[in-house]
Amino acid sequence: MEIRYLANDSEAVEYLRISAASFIWKFDKNEDTHCEMPVLGAFHEGRLIAGVEIFDFKTNFCGNTLGAVVVSGVCSQPEYRRMGGIREIFDKIGETAEENNWAVGFLHPFSISYYEKFGYASLNRMFSVKVPFENLKNIPRNNDVTLYTGAQIDELCELHNKCALKENLICFRNDKKHFCDTPLESADYTYIHRNKNGTADGYVRFTVKRPDTLTVEELFVLSPEALTALVGFLRNYDGIVKHLIVKNQYQGSPFAVLTDRIDGVTYESVSAAAARIYNLEAVLKNNTYPEEYGKFRLKSIDTISRNNGVFEVEYRGGKAEITYKPDGEYDIALTAPAAARLLLAGEGHTKDTAVFIDGVELKNDASDFFRAFPHRATRFTDSSWSI
């Protein structure tokens, strides 16, 4: 089987046909003529039988930048399923991760167990909050916002990236493809708030479905003032819709603790993203460690050779020295999915909770390991506008 990127529009059309057959959407031969993103395909006897869309991102981890691959559109021709096409594509991603500077990978799984076979594990689950506008009367109305129309792209990217540095795994953005600059044509609105100094400190992106809901797709803020100002602006829509929905929240996120009244407020769990570590040493080096001294030996069990072995980590003052050995004594052993959960998800496990996770073996107390990976604000986001 040959694994390579699609080379021309005819192969792109074939990929779209496979996607339509896999996900049961209607293929339009006049409209579905090309795909712009790189697609890594599996070819059997010269025929494309499976494909995966590849997006190259940079993501925040403890205030540092990690290269990331975001995988989407995973599909295979139904009559060629279970022939190993998707597995070989994921093997190729792992083989080329180093040359592409991908330390981590992300995707949105349809099945947790299926993607665990490729080393991915679900991150902390997100939820949507649905609040009656009546419950937000304690927030003053506000009109001090500016509609994004494309002219403010540099300002908006800078703002987004400042917000990204406050939460792990948010992807950085540097161009207009991540934002909608045609609000009237698409009914997809983004508004920017600026502080008293004229500096952008928050933005909200939303759609409206009358008479029921205003749905916030993205809400990023740098200050409590920006949060209340943007929610105060959204209150101006309470004459035409009944409820406000804010997506992609997590326990302790700013909006999740904003409402004063809980009657009528509902929470809906949404699918979590899944992550995989492609460069374990890079993740360990970029982690922020405790000030006090600590040391642990992590045995990584992984199909990626540079991740497979024992990593001795000795830390003090927020930094660590990392030594790799192919084998040796260890305090904790993790499979690739377990490593993604304990190192990336920000769940803040202890030895008492980690033992219930598949792929975790505690040989010793490993308390210095768990202190190095506490609970952290973590919210993976790619660009829902472009993907």
pLDDT tens-digit map of 117-129: 999 999 878 889 9
Q: Which band of pLDDT confidence, cut at 50, 70 and 90, is reported for residue 260?
A: low
Q: Are residues 54 and 148 both part of a single domain? A: no
What would the two tokens of residue 142 be? 């506000």
d(CA 260, CA 14): 53
Element of type H or E holding 297: strand 294-301
Domain tally, the chain:
3
pLDDT tens-digit map of 96-117: 999 999 999 999 998 889 999 9
Last residue of a domain, one of 268, 286, 312: 268
pLDDT tens-digit map of 176-200: 989 999 999 999 999 999 999 999 9
Contacts of 42 (CB under 8 A, 6+ apart): 1, 2, 3, 48, 49, 50, 51, 76, 85, 86, 88, 89
pLDDT exceeds 80 at position 247 = yes
d(CA 192, CA 226): 9
> Does residue 116 form part of some domain?
no
> Does residue 108 form part of some domain?
no
pLDDT tens-digit map of 72-81: 999 998 888 8
Kindly state the DSSP code that residue 386 receives in the 8-state scheme.
Answer: T
Q: Do strands 319-325 and 243-249 pair parallel, antiparallel, or not at all (unpaired)?
A: unpaired
d(CA 218, CA 266): 18
Q: Are residues 142 and 260 both part of a single domain? A: yes
Kindly state the DSSP code that residue 305 receives in the 8-state scheme.
Answer: G
Q: Are residues 51 and 97 both part of a single domain? A: yes
Neighbours of 245 (CB within 10 A): 20
Q: Which band of pLDDT confidence, cut at 50, 70 and 90, is reported for residue 313?
A: very high
Q: Calculate what percentage of the chain has a pLDDT beyond 70.
A: 98
Q: Are residues 45 and 14 both part of a single domain? A: yes
Decide: residue 359, CB within 10 A, 0-12 exposed, 13-18 middle, 19+ buried. middle
pLDDT of residue 262: 77
CATH number, residue 340: 3.30.1050.10
Q: Are residues 207 and 149 both part of a single domain? A: yes
pLDDT tens-digit map of 131-162: 999 999 989 999 999 999 999 999 999 999 99
pLDDT exceeds 70 at position 384 = no
> Identity (one letter) of the amino acid at 350?
T
Q: Are residues 231 and 163 both part of a single domain? A: yes
Q: Which band of pLDDT confidence, cut at 50, 70 and 90, is reported for residue 387?
A: very low
What would the two tokens of residue 32 be? 């579905």
What would the two tokens of residue 371 be? 């202190």
Mean pLDDT of 296-313: 97
Lowest mean pLDDT among 115-124, 178-187, 246-255, 338-347: 246-255
Q: Are residues 172 and 282 both part of a single domain? A: no
> Does residue 59 form part of some domain?
yes
Contact 106, 278 (CB under 8 A): no
Decide: residue 268, CB within 10 A, 0-12 exposed, 13-18 middle, 19+ buried. exposed
> Does residue 308 form part of some domain?
yes
pLDDT of residue 62: 97
pLDDT exceeds 60 at position 385 = no
d(CA 146, CA 162): 19
Q: Are residues 133 and 228 both part of a single domain? A: yes
What would the two tokens of residue 86 be? 């998707």
pLDDT exceeds 50 at position 15 = yes
Lowest mean pLDDT among 50-54, 232-236, 250-254: 250-254
Q: Are residues 153 and 259 both part of a single domain? A: yes
Last residue of a domain, one of 217, 238, 268: 268
Residue, of 362 and 253, whose pLDDT is higher:
362
Residue, of 29 and 130, whose pLDDT is higher:
130
> Does residue 232 form part of some domain?
yes
Mean pLDDT of 28-43: 82
Q: Are residues 95 and 132 both part of a single domain? A: no
d(CA 97, CA 349): 28
Contact 161, 172 (CB under 8 A): yes
**Helix (H, G, I), strand (E, B), or coil: what is residue 125?**
coil
Decide: residue 306, CB within 10 A, 0-12 exposed, 13-18 middle, 19+ buried. middle
> Does residue 166 form part of some domain?
yes
Q: What is the pTM of this model?
A: 0.92
Average pLDDT, the chain: 92
Last residue of a domain, one of 225, 250, 268: 268
Domain that includes residue 21, residue range: 2-102
Q: Are residues 189 and 238 both part of a single domain? A: yes
**Helix (H, G, I), strand (E, B), or coil: what is residue 40?**
strand
> Does residue 357 form part of some domain?
yes
pLDDT exceeds 60 at position 85 = yes
Q: Which band of pLDDT confidence, cut at 50, 70 and 90, is reported for residue 26?
A: confident
pLDDT exceeds 80 at position 349 = yes
CATH number, residue 157: 3.40.630.30
> Does residue 289 form part of some domain?
yes
d(CA 234, CA 245): 11
Q: Are residues 282 and 262 both part of a single domain? A: no
pLDDT exceeds 90 at position 271 = no
> Identity (one letter) of the amino acid at 89?
I
